[in-house]
Amino acid sequence: ARVTHLRVHYKHCREICSAIKGMQLLKAKSYLENVLVQKDGIPFTKYTGGIGRHAVAKKYKVAGDKVAFPTKATKSFLDMLRNLESNVEFKGLDVEQVKITHAQANQAPNMRRRTYRAHGRIGPYMSCPAHIELIAEEANTEIAKEQEPSTGRVSRKRAAQLRAVKVGGDKA
């Protein structure tokens, strides 16, 4: 699932991406729903300026208990996860086994507005939207490789002799 020029803060989207990457799809959905009611928080690891400290952060490996509850970005991610879930059902995959393998947020071009300052001046009032991309894959069950019978170490000379026999040369 992908969305471009989404008018939510890029920095919030980046932190949510790093929080849900690698999670099962249904687990990520319930996690973000808990973020909306502030039972869980989004750990902020990179963009930590002005982020408050909360007791909820003890659950996560985050410096200084820095978590936040970015509501608007979380709602956007929940919409994307709902879309992703319907895509999974449409393709006939098992929703229980689907895992988010790729979650990425990029900065979109800034949108400009204006704010009116003192003495008749005008200043910029920019927004920092984001492009978001989520990819989910079904967890594949790995099949154990059958062990080939090993004949032990063969010297370089003996390997050359065996190759000569296969080609049809004289038997050594």
In degrees rounded to 5, what are phi and psi of residue 154? -120, 130
> Bridge partners of 114?
124
pLDDT at position 60: 87
How open is the CA angle 77-85-9, to the nearest 5 degrees? 10
Q: Please answer whether residues 96 and 139 qualify as being in contact, where contact means their C-beta atoms are separated by less than 8 angstroms.
A: no
- Reading the block at residue 21, the tokens are 């990457």
- The model's pLDDT over 9-30, given as tens digits with 9 standing for 90+, comes to 999 999 999 999 999 999 999 9
Long-range contacts of 56-64 (CB under 8 A, 24+ apart): none
pTM: 0.79
Distance CA 151, CA 23 (A): 44
Which of the residues in the chain have pLDDT under 50?
none
